[in-house]
Chains A and B, each alone.
Chain A
Amino acid sequence: NAGVTQTPKFQVLKTGQSMTLQCAQDMNHNSMYWYRQDPGMGLRLIYYSASEGTTDKGEVPNGYNVSRLNKREFSLRLESAAPSQTSVYFCASSLWKGNTEAFFGQGTRLTVV
C-alpha cells in the first residue's frame, strides 16, 4: 500500500517564487494535515482538512494556502516563498480528526534562498 504520498521530495526555491506541494492518500481517510518541522520546534500544524470540502487554519498558516481537491488529495501552496519557509513539510492523514493514528508522507525538504 502506498499510504500517504508527497511530491516533491526536495525543492529549492528563490525568494518570491511560488510552488505547490502535492499530497495524496489511498487509505480512504477523512482528515488530512500539513505540518512543518523545524529543528527544536517539533511539528507545527499549518492547515488541516477535517473532511472533504473543509479546510481550516492551524498554528502557523501565514504564507500558505491549501486545497482539498477531493477525499484523496490535499495540496499546500506557497504563493511567494520566503527564507523563513525553509523547512521540512509533512502531509498526514487520519481516519478521523485528532484522536486517531496519523499516517505521514515521507516529507518535502524545501529550501528558500
Chain B
Amino acid sequence: RKEVEQDPGPFNVPEGATVAFNCTYSNSASQSFFWYRQDCRKEPKLLMSVYSSGNEDGRFTAQLNRASQYISLLIRDSKLSDSATYLCVVNTGDDYKLSFGAGTTVTVRA
C-alpha cells in the first residue's frame, strides 16, 4: 500500500465552482501534513500546511481527520489560475521523510 494516496482526477470544474478532494495516508504516526501545488512542468510549491483543527487560507480550506487518516482540500470560487496538480504531502514520523502523493489534477474552465 502506498504511504500517501490521492485520486488523480482530473477534476474539471467551471469558474466559480467549489471543488474538494481527499488524500489518505497509511502511517498513523504521521505528524505533519501539507498541500503543495505543482503547475505543469514546474517545481512543487507549498500551498498550505494542514493543522489538526483545520485551517483556511483565502479560498482554500484544509481539513485533517486523524481517525480516518485522511486530509482534504476544498477550493471555493475556483479561478482559472487554480488549474494545477495538488500534491498531498505527509511527514511519516521519520524525522527526515516527506512522502508525496501522486497528485490530484484540477482544471478550471471558463
Q: Which chain A residues have a beta carbon within 8 Å of chain B's beta carbons?
A: 31, 33, 35, 40-45, 48, 50, 56, 58, 90, 97-99, 101-102, 104-107
Contacts and interface: CB of A to CB of B under 8 A. Distances in A.
B97 A58 contact: yes
A42 B102 contact: yes
Contacts of B31: 99
B101 A48 contact: no
Contacts of B8: 40
Given A42-B101, A104-B43, A48 B96 contact: yes
A33 to B, nearest CB: 8
Contact of B43 (A31, A45, A56, A107): A107
Interface of B: 4, 8, 31-32, 34, 41-46, 49, 87, 91, 94-98, 100-103
A105 B96 contact: no
Given A42-B103, A43-B100, A98 B46 contact: no
Given A42-B102, A42-B103, A90-B44, A98 B95 contact: yes
A106 B46 contact: no
A40 B102 contact: yes
Contacts of A50: 95-96
Given A40-B8, A43-B87, A97 B45 contact: no
B64 to A, nearest CB: 14
